[in-house]
């Protein structure tokens, strides 16, 4: 049993490296892209207790060639260094994931099955271990990392400052990145707290170049998160399934 390929997992905050800007600033000298990214990721890393809501829209290509757009939502709660809970649902799937410092539990709500994995002592080590051994990547996994900047510092080959643009009434720094196969656009709040407000991911190497769009809302960087939030809530009758390691493991 495995998590669906939630494509934005590794890409969500892969915003990094200080590369030269291309093109003139609209009215004044553009902010340095690397400085904006460092500020955003440092803000996330410094928060020890976080909750947020994410609205998601994404494309899927049918076997007959049509590109269909679906929608979903994600709720994330994490308490560093060793707790998180992710609730995910869209038009095609529904999952919950709990990590309590000793085990990681995945529940597939539609199939009514769950699986358990031994876990490391921290969020970062656990995410790395399950990705390497089982190929499981959590929704928006880089948000759960304590150092999103360093985690993806070698991926970006081009970056641009696009301008100061609006996200639902909030001025935001609009940035562009690519590694050649994937493009990311991110909007970072231009106010006192530089949080990501919007993310668009385009998969250039996939048929039809599908996109995923994420809107980040309801940020709380000092959330009061009780221990029982990270205790798995398994429905009665849910079957226990085994995680299979990747081939060669």
Decide if 242 contacts 76 (C-beta within 8 A): no
DSSP state of 23: S
pLDDT of residue 248: 60
The pLDDT value given to residue 245? 86
Residue-range domains of the chain with CATH: 8-229 (2.50.20.10)
Q: What tokens appear for 15 in the block?
A: 């915003």
Confidence check: pLDDT of 12 > 50: no
- What's the CA angle centered on 175, arms 174 and 177, to 5 degrees? 155
Confidence band, pLDDT 50/70/90 cuts, at residue 243: confident
CA distances for 227 relative to 48, 60, 99, 102, 114, angstroms: 14, 37, 11, 13, 21
Instruction: Residue 109: name the closest of 245, 244, 239 by CA.
Output: 239
Using a pLDDT cut of 90, give the percent of the chain over it.
71
In a 3-state reduction of DSSP, which class is residue 219?
strand
């Amino acid at each position: 049993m495995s998590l669906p390929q939630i494509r934005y997992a590794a890409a969500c905050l892969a915003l990094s490296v200080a590369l030269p800007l291309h093109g003139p600033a609209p009215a004044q000298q553009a902010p340095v892209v690397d400085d904006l990214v460092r500020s955003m990721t440092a803000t996330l890393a410094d928060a020890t207790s976080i909750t947020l809501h994410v609205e998601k829209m994404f494309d899927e290509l049918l076997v007959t060639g049509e590109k269909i757009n679906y929608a979903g939502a994600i709720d994330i709660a994490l308490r560093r260094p060793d707790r998180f809970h992710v609730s995910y649902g869209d038009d095609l799937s529904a999952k919950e994931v709990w990590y309590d410092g000793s085990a990681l539990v995945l529940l597939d709500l539609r199939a009514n099955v769950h699986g358990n994995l031994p876990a490391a002592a921290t969020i970062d080590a656990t995410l790395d271990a399950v990705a390497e051994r089982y190929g499981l990547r959590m929704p928006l996994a880089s948000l759960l990392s304590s150092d999103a900047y360093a985690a993806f510092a070698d991926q970006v080959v081009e970056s641009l400052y696009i301008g100061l643009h609006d996200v639902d009434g909030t001025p935001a720094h609009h940035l562009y990145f690519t590694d050649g196969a994937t493009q990311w656009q991110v909007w970072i709040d231009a106010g006192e707290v530089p949080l990501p407000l919007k993310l668009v991911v385009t998969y250039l190497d996939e048929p039809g170049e599908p996109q995923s769009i994420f809107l980040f809302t309801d940020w709380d960087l000092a959330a009061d998160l009780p221990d029982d939030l990270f205790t798995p809530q398994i429905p009665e009758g849910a079957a226990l399934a085994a995680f299979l390691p990747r081939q060669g493991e």
